[in-house]
Amino acid sequence: MTVMASANSAGSASSGWVLVAAVSLVSGLLLAGPALRRHYPVAWWVCLGFPVVCIRVARTWRPLMAGCGLAVSRKAALTVVSGLVGNGAPPPQPRVPQRGLVRPSRGGFWFLVRLLPGQVPEDFVKAAPAMAHNWEVHAVRVTTWKPGLVRVVAAVSDPLKAPQVPNQRGADRLLRVTVGAVETGAQWVIDLRKVPHWLIVGATRSGKSTLINALVAGLARQPVALVGIDCKGGMELSLYAPRLSALATNRTQAVELLGALVDLTLDRMNVCRAARVRNVWGLPEDERPVPIVVIVDELAELFLIASRNEKEEAQATSTALIRLAQLGAALGVFLVVAGQRVGSDLGPGVTALRAQLAGRVCHRVADPGTAEMALGDLNPDALHAAQAITPEQAGTAVLASADGWDRARSHLVSEAEAERVAAEYAHLTPYVPELVTAGGGTSADDVPSVRLERLDGEETE
Ligand SMILES: Nc1ncnc2c1ncn2[C@@H]1O[C@H](COP(=O)(O)OP(=O)(O)OP(=O)(O)O)[C@@H](O)[C@H]1O
């Protein structure tokens, strides 16, 4: 008896100690929470943030589903039967979609949800802002996992506030450049072989040039020809002049340069046809023409019409751009078109061109029409995310393609850095005679000395 009593008292004493230790650990964590979060975000997330969030999700799931209209009431007959059998007991609660285990992810958590009969993923997409507010997290994204299941992904804080620069070693291949980070923590890669043509929109100071800097800095190191069309007098793209194979700085030059590019593309088509291949990548490596990336800064400058003869020029540029976009991908000509404001009011060709530019990047925009133009036809639900980008988030953009959309932020590559890279790799600038002789690109005076040397070299050979 005495032994048992002492064992009991020893047991209760030890469980008391466990309780005290647990309470002090939790209160210690709560008190130290803000400091822990600031200095050791991963430790904070594992010890405190994630368990708290799991409890919050579990606690709010049923009322949240009911509040968002995602709970389905039981059959009326069942309610009547339960009323009769239960003798006045409350009717059964409505069914809510079944939720899987909450799992931690980098900077947040995710789980799967099984849809109830009659529900579609879009119902949950609409409820995402309510979920974010309820769980006090930065954002919630809902995507289809497989038929009948959606994946709910929550980011606790904005991962793009200070994006971690992913390891770039070995990441860049021909026509593939890592330009930033996606909010999932993955690299933001522009791969022109996968998505050959891009439309980049954004208001002034939204980060367009920084993204182009990152792209040019990546492409400059590769065996590709870069061609610039900058009708604002070359103010933006002339920085990269040593690495450009041609640069048009006004619309008259742009018309000639684009015409030359179309002719070059048609020549490549004949070469491919003669070799019985469907694209330039099917040609033997030593016969394959150099890939050409055409960067257009400020699309509106190409389309604006102030007088009658400008109308013809605008139409010519528009037709040439559309032809390049239609033919170029298979023939090694790629388009990156940037603009502050892109709308169908710029001209009839804009919507047709937009349809060919499958890659879209929408920074902060000044008018909803531009965001609509960039994202509306591919991912209407991305519009809200694009319009929520603030001026303080320069460089942040919504990326969209036929596969879906993501938020991302470009690496901060300054103009000076891009200029330095362009000068460093000027020796890689391919000489494309069709473009130089077109006159629309660089005149002999404009051709950087490096290219003149190459030209001389080739002529004397
Ligand atoms: N990815 C980024 N990360 C941090 N800051 C950025 C980023 N992108 C842009 N910024 C900041 O925003 C400023 C404006 O960016 P940028 O010149 O690229 O804008 P823009 O859209 O090209 O403007 P404009 O149309 O007037 O030329 C930059 O000087 C830089 O300070």
Is the pTM for the entire model greater than 0.80? Answer: no
| Backbone CA torsion sign across 404, 407, 412, 414 | positive
| Pocket test residue of 160, 209, 211, 370 for ligand 1, highest count of atoms within 8 A of CB | 209
CA-CA distance, 261 to 122, in Å (whole number)? 43
**DSSP β-bridge partners for residue 336:** 198, 295
Q: Is 203 annotated as a binding residue?
A: yes
Cβ–ligand 1 distance for 212 under 6 Å, the answer no
Residue 93: pLDDT band with limits 50, 70, 90: confident
Overall size of the chain counted in residues:
461
410-446 pLDDT, tens digit each: 999 999 999 999 999 999 999 888 886 554 444 444 4
CA of 55 to the centre of ligand 1 (A): 40
Which whole number is the average pLDDT over 12-26? 74
Cβ–ligand 1 distance for 341 under 6 Å, the answer no
137-182 pLDDT, tens digit each: 988 888 888 999 999 999 887 777 776 655 554 456 899 999 998 8
Asked if the interface predicted TM-score (ipTM) of this complex is over 0.90, the answer is yes
DSSP state of 278: S
Least confident of 31-40, 120-129, 166-175: 166-175
| Backbone CA torsion sign across 324, 326, 331, 333 | positive
CA-CA distance, 33 to 257, in Å (whole number)? 60
Cβ–ligand 1 distance for 412 under 6 Å, the answer yes
CA of 105 to the centre of ligand 1 (A): 30
The angle formed by the CA atoms of residues 44, 46 and 51, to the nearest 5 degrees, is 100
The whole-angstrom distance between residue 361's C-alpha and the CA centroid of its chain comes to: 6
The whole-angstrom distance between residue 344's C-alpha and the CA centroid of its chain comes to: 23
By C-alpha distance, which of 410, 335, 404, 339 is closest to 370?
A: 339
Under 8 Å CB-to-CB from 196, ≥6 apart: which residues? 328, 329, 334, 335, 358
Under 8 Å CB-to-CB from 7, ≥6 apart: which residues? none
Has residue 68 got a pLDDT over 80? yes
Q: Is 347 annotated as a binding residue?
A: no
Cβ–ligand 1 distance for 395 under 6 Å, the answer yes
170-201 pLDDT, tens digit each: 456 899 999 998 887 788 999 999 999 999 99
- Other beta carbons within 10 angstroms of residue 103's beta carbon come to 12
Higher pLDDT, 349 or 361: 361
Q: Is 205 annotated as a binding residue?
A: yes
Listed in sequence order, the DSSP H helices in 40-49 are: 41-44
Residue 231: in which H helix or E strand, if any? none
The whole-angstrom distance between residue 255's C-alpha and the CA centroid of its chain comes to: 31
Ligand 1, atom 9: nearest CA belongs to which residue?
207
CA 206 to ligand 1: nearest atom: 21
What domains can you pick out in the chain, each with its CATH number?
A: 17-70+87-155 (3.30.980), 176-460 (3.40.50.300)
Residue 244: pLDDT band with limits 50, 70, 90: very high
User: What does the mean pLDDT of the chain come to?
Assistant: 83
Cβ–ligand 1 distance for 202 under 6 Å, the answer yes
DSSP state of 397: E
| Pocket test residue of 179, 183, 188, 205 for ligand 1, highest count of atoms within 8 A of CB | 205
The per-residue pLDDT for 461 is: 28
Least confident of 208-212, 247-251, 346-350, 395-399: 346-350
Cβ–ligand 1 distance for 210 under 6 Å, the answer yes
